[in-house]
Amino acid sequence: MTASTEVTCAVCGEAAKELASAICGECDRPFHLNQHNDVEGKDCGDVWVDEQFLSLRFACFTCLPQEGAPAGEGEPPVGKQH
């Protein structure tokens, strides 16, 4: 792969360089993710350490609950698919 390879971000629909993106662990689609602290970049998702499995987890903002959203929004009622 070359550094100039581009993908389309599943969150914002804009082009993203493959080296400045990640694949969502929930929907398997690419999204913008700035992986460097010293370079400005766009983030359309997040990455964190899964403490249970000691691995990195990646998710786009479409799949992650948004800040300010009521808890459980989008969750099926208890007893259905739980």
| pLDDT at 25 > cutoff 90 | yes
What local confidence, expressed as pLDDT, does residue 57 receive?
95
pTM (2 decimals)?
0.72
Q: Give the integer Cα–Cα distance in Å for 31 and 47.
A: 11
pLDDT digits (tens, 9 = 90+) for 29-81: 999 999 888 888 999 999 999 999 999 999 999 999 765 545 454 444 444 44
58 or 1, which is more confident?
Answer: 58
User: What are the boundaries of each domain within the chain?
Assistant: 6-60
What local confidence, expressed as pLDDT, does residue 67 receive?
59
